[in-house]
Amino acid sequence: EAQVTQNPRYLITVTGKKLTVTCSQNMNHEYMSWYRQDPGLGLRQIYYSMNVEVTDKGDVPEGYKVSRKEKRNFPLILESPSPNQTSLYFCASSLLSGSKNEQFFGPGTRLTVL
Amino acid sequence: DAKTTQPPSMDCAEGRAANLPCNHSTISGNEYVYWYRQIHSQGPQYIIHGLKNNETNEMASLIITEDRKSSTLILPHATLRDTAVYYCIVRYPSGGSYIPTFGRGTSLIVHP
């Protein structure tokens, strides 16, 4: 089944404790991205990647890192989480060629930083 | 990518058509209009997309005005399960600075 998976789905942590949220897709998509969603603010893009070893900042990259060493994986790293990073996070992927190229989204990771 | 404007909320009676408008007055010639929806806190789901012709699939219809400055997503027979936030975005389908902006969308409530 074609899908985007994220782990963990729920995480409660404390300020300053490094964490990684994994994202994996099995559709051989070139493009992957991370979003955060906060009440009243819609989906805001954090980072995106057009292909392996190619990453770029989205609208709200501060406090986050990403890497794209393999095509299927795009982990989101919070080196020193802070309470303002408490949010619902979504990973997404899509092709970059063709005329449809809809984004496929993962199920979300709800992060709470105390 | 062009920005979009959507009403923050709408409601619709079950079984009736839901017509969700989107304004994208700065759309450029090769940008497509895409619609997604997000049910509760699940990941957004693709619904439909189009360039300039009207489009229909099993989920919805998309009507794009002739000048392409606005569009309407039509759910022909809305059900309670269609209650969701609907996002209209415009973007190039491939290449370029590919940063789709989802905005806040329209919260559609379908009532019995």
The DSSP secondary structure of A3-26, one letter per residue, reads -EEEE-SEEEE-TT--EEEEEEES
How high is the pLDDT of residue B2?
62
User: Which residue from B46, B103, B105 is facing A103, i.e. has the nearest CB?
Assistant: B46
Mind telling me how many Å the CA of B88 is from chain A's nearest CA? 12
Distances, alpha carbon B14 to alpha carbons A69, B18, B80, in Å: 47, 9, 6
Contact A90 B43 (CB under 8 A): yes
**Residue with more model confidence, B101 or B24:** B24
Alpha carbons A9 and A110: distance in angstroms, whole number: 6
Alpha carbons B71 and B54: distance in angstroms, whole number: 9
How high is the pLDDT of residue B103?
78
Percent of chain A with pLDDT over 90: 82
Query: A45: which 2 tokens?
Result: 């893009």
**Residue with more model confidence, A105 or B94:** A105
Place of tokens 């794209």: A68
Mean pLDDT of chain B: 90
How high is the pLDDT of residue B94?
58
Question: Which whole number is the average pLDDT over B96-101?
Answer: 59
Question: Which whole number is the average pLDDT over B32-48?
Answer: 93
Alpha carbons B4 and B101: distance in angstroms, whole number: 9
pLDDT band at B99 (very low <50, low <70, confident <90, very high): low
B81 — phi, psi (to 5°)?
-70, -10
CB A36 within 8 A of CB A109: no
How high is the pLDDT of residue B10?
97
8-state DSSP, A111: E
CB B101 within 8 A of CB B87: no
Give the lowest-confidence range in A103-107, B12-16, B100-104: B100-104
Task: Encode pLDDT of A89-98 as tens digits.
Answer: 999 999 877 6
Given a cut of 50, the residues of chain A with pLDDT beneath it are none
Task: Encode pLDDT of B47-89 as tens digits.
Answer: 999 999 899 999 999 999 999 999 999 999 999 999 999 999 9
Is A27 near chain B, with CB under 8 Å? no
Alpha carbons B24 and B44: distance in angstroms, whole number: 20
How do strand B9-13 and strand B106-111 relate by DSSP bridges?
parallel
How high is the pLDDT of residue A101?
77
Question: Which whole number is the average pLDDT over B98-108?
Answer: 79
How high is the pLDDT of residue A106?
96
**Which helix or strand (DSSP H or E) is residue A63 part of?**
none
pLDDT band at B98 (very low <50, low <70, confident <90, very high): low
Question: Which whole number is the average pLDDT over B24-33?
Answer: 87
How high is the pLDDT of residue B95?
54
How high is the pLDDT of residue A48?
92
Is B21 near chain A, with CB under 8 Å? no
Contact A108 B34 (CB under 8 A): no
